[in-house]
Structure 1
């Protein structure tokens, strides 16, 4: 994909933004149309991880337009997921001209890491979070009344959870760049772990759409693990680049060094 110059008039920047948004929208539309006919198979795959909590193993459509609505939502969601690498690249490429030449070398690894982490979050959700969350929700519902597995409701919860976990799994990149690029000193990030953990707990409650304690605990545990792993990686990068003493530097130390 071509990269525009760093300095352009405002209208040229807006034109560049429009061009990249057009690429994203057209890509998603094409992917949505291509996968629409395969939506029954996609739905079958989506519910496979929670099938034991669906009475009869089959979803129910309760309205005349329900089937089309579900198929369209699934096709659109799948199209967005498939086009995730394009979406991430076009967004980052818009800001690429503003970066210095030595900073641009991080863009491709960043795009690859973002894509891998997003898909990793979805895989974690599919195999671990979804069965646990739907198991807890099914228990709460079946204790009160007969459960009718409405297709639109189940698909909405599944896709929202998958998306939430995919986005939440981008945390390691945020932590890594904040520390490795000296935006937040490693000592501050490491020393303020209690506040970070509280923030991650709040984030877990916000991101999980079903509001079940099981999902929030799983999300919280995953985010803590990712946070600690990203700090460990950033620690090694800082040691290699600046020496072990840099782990104790404050913002003032970095400013003095620069």
Structure 2
């Protein structure tokens, strides 16, 4: 009995070692891909750092264009003139490196996917990146000019607008992120329909709640004014309709294949 027990224990130990080996290999691969992503971000950051002030000037231009002649931004903290452009350049480096980071994530998870999942994942990843960039561009070229025009013209006449560079950076980064994520709504809607978690009919019936929810999200993610809330809520709802459209097409193709 003791020999059998010893043999069984040895077999169990070998099984545990065999099961741990793939896990260790996956962790090593994950670490390698994370390191590659970090290195790429650092390389891009080092390449852009010489232009840090120019990048900040570009991002601040929508506000500067709306300020009265002779006005300028200010720095209320000693390190702000250095830290604000530094922080923005790092964010821009991550922003540029997103396609490479997603490619590394894709290369890590792709071996465990089926062929049909791979054929769907690639266009979804590509469209997600494109939509996030589109959301940030929409915020910069459409939302910022309207928003800053409203802010700079509604204050009392005897108040001079002099925005702190660090506060401005935090404000615009929040809006960039909010609009970038909001523009992912078609992808989320499409995945809900394609996976069967929801149907086009059920989502269509919830339009009034979605419309109201878009304004609630706009209220939470933007400054407390109706203009910025509407500029986020209306595109969100229109993108929801786009997601329904593509979901309806995907649902129709799936039914045709089943027939």
Q: Do they fold alike, i.e. is TM over 0.5?
A: yes
Q: Which moved more, 1:114-123 or 1:126-135?
A: 126-135
CA distance in 2, matches of 1:49, 1:134: 7
Question: How many residues were matched structurally?
Answer: 238
Q: What are the ranges of 5 or more consecutive residues in structure 1 without an aligned counterpart?
A: 1-6, 247-256
**Structure 2 vs 1, CA of residues 212 and 8 (structure 1 numbering), >3 Å: closer, same or farther?**
farther
Aligned position for 2:201:
187
- Partner residue of 1:214 out of 210, 227, 237: 227
CA distance in 2, matches of 1:201, 1:154: 24
Q: What are the ranges of 5 or more consecutive residues in structure 2 without an aligned counterpart?
A: 1-19
State yes or no: 1:117 paired with 2:131.
yes
TM-score, length-normalised on structure 2?
0.82
Deviation of 1:66 after TM superposition, in Å, equals: 1.4
- Partner residue of 1:33 out of 42, 46, 66: 46
Please tell me whether the aligned partners of residues 147 and 228 of structure 2 are also in contact (alpha carbons under 8 angstroms). yes
Deviation of 1:220 after TM superposition, in Å, equals: 0.3
Larger Rg: 2
Structure 1 runs of 4+ aligned residues shifted over 6 Å read: none
Deviation of 1:175 after TM superposition, in Å, equals: 0.6
CA distance in 1, matches of 2:160, 2:230: 27
- Partner residue of 1:127 out of 128, 134, 141: 141
Aligned position for 2:247:
234
**Structure 2 vs 1, CA of residues 18 and 236 (structure 1 numbering), >3 Å: closer, same or farther?**
same
CA distance in 1, matches of 2:75, 2:43: 27
Question: Which residues of 2 match residues 116-195 of structure 1 at below 5 A?
Answer: 116-142=130-156, 145-195=159-209
TM-score, length-normalised on structure 1?
0.82
**Structure 2 vs 1, CA of residues 20 and 196 (structure 1 numbering), >3 Å: closer, same or farther?**
farther
Deviation of 1:21 after TM superposition, in Å, equals: 2.3
**Structure 2 vs 1, CA of residues 8 and 108 (structure 1 numbering), >3 Å: closer, same or farther?**
farther
Aligned position for 1:14:
27
Deviation of 1:119 after TM superposition, in Å, equals: 0.9
Aligned position for 2:67:
54
